[in-house]
Structure formats: C-alpha cells, structure tokens
C-alpha cells in the first residue's frame, strides 16, 4: 500500500443510493418534506429501472441535469426504482434490523425543534423524536420506504461530541 494520497485528491463522493418502491411517493417526501429538488431522471427501459438524482435546495449551484453532473457532483441522493416493485411484495431493508448494515442519511437543519414540529404537522413518521433516548438533541424520521433520516442541528452537536475528535 502506498502512503501517497495525492492520487485521491480529486476523488468525490457524488451520491448515496436508496432503492425505492414507489417513485411518486418517495419524490413527494424528499422534495416536499426535506426540500430536495429533482435534477436528473434517467430511465433504463431495457433493464427496467429508473434513477432519480436529488439535490438539497441549500447546496449552492444546482446540478444541471446532465448525466455528467449526476455522476460527478458531490452531495446528491440517488433514488433507484426497479420497475414493477410497487406491485409486488418487495420490501426495502433500512439496514437497522437484522441483518444490520446501512444505517441512515443525515440532514442538518438550522432549528431542529421547528423542523420536527413541521415534520409532525406533515404527518411524517418518527423513529426517534427530539428529546427521547440517550441522544436527546437529535431526531430520526422515516421516509416512505422505512429508511432512517437523522435530523441534527449542528450548533447542538458540539456538546454531544466534546473533545473526542481527531
């Protein structure tokens, strides 16, 4: 193994993919509840699946919808829909029950109490409400497919982490 990390200087984490069952339901949730915008939809008819690339509205310049931007721009969320899964008994696995694996994505908000009140008013399902459990300063909501979304207010996180950092 080499110690020269300069070869990775231009590596970019572009997106995280979540498999979804019903595109309309998932897009409504991510766009209306969390404020994402759909920037690219790619349909692969022969393989019978679609990719939906979403960008948080507060992420500066919007991706332009091109395939290049969809696979090179940092911070996108990719929702993948395998056609026909909405009509069968396919269930998505959040990774938080056995067998454990993937855990969650995280959304930072400026005022977590206000965000949680808004989510509550919109009928969003909570996995863990603000003020509950050991980490009382964070909340977890669930998307329509049961994926966990951590909700944090960055200004509150410093007290949780303290001096235990690199």
Which tokens belong to 86? 């909405």
Which of the following is catalytic: 86, 87, 150, 158? 150
DSSP letters spanning 127-150 = EE-TT-SS-TT-EEEE-TT--EEE
Q: Can you give the length of the chain in residues?
A: 166
**Structure tokens of 30?**
């991510």
What is the C-alpha to C-alpha distance for residues 147 and 30, in angstroms, rounded to an integer?
12
User: Can 150 be counted among the known catalytic residues?
Assistant: yes
Q: How many other C-beta atoms are found inside a 10 Å radius of the C-beta of residue 105?
A: 14
| Residues linked to residue 79 through DSSP beta bridges, in sequence order | 18, 52
| d(C-alpha 71, C-alpha 113), whole Å | 34
Phi, psi values for residue 109, rounded to 5°: -130, 155
Residues labelled as active-site residues: 150
């Amino acid at each position: 193994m080499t110690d020269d990390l300069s070869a990775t200087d231009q590596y970019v984490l572009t997106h995280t993919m979540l498999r979804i069952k019903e595109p309309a339901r998932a897009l409504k949730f991510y766009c209306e509840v969390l404020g994402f915008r759909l920037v690219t939809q790619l349909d692969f008819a022969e393989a019978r699946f679609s990719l939906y690339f979403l960008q948080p509205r507060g992420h500066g310049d919007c991706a332009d919808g091109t395939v290049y931007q969809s696979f090179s721009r940092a911070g996108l969320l990719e929702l993948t829909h395998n056609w026909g899964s909405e009509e069968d008994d396919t269930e998505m696995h959040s990774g938080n029950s056995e067998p454990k694996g993937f855990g969650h994505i995280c959304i930072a908000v400026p005022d977590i109490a206000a965000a949680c009140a808004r989510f509550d008013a919109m009928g969003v399902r909570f996995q863990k409400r603000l003020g509950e459990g050991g980490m009382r300063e964070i909340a977890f909501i669930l998307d329509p497919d049961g994926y966990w979304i951590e909700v944090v207010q960055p200004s509150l996180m410093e007290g949780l982490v303290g001096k235990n950092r690199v």
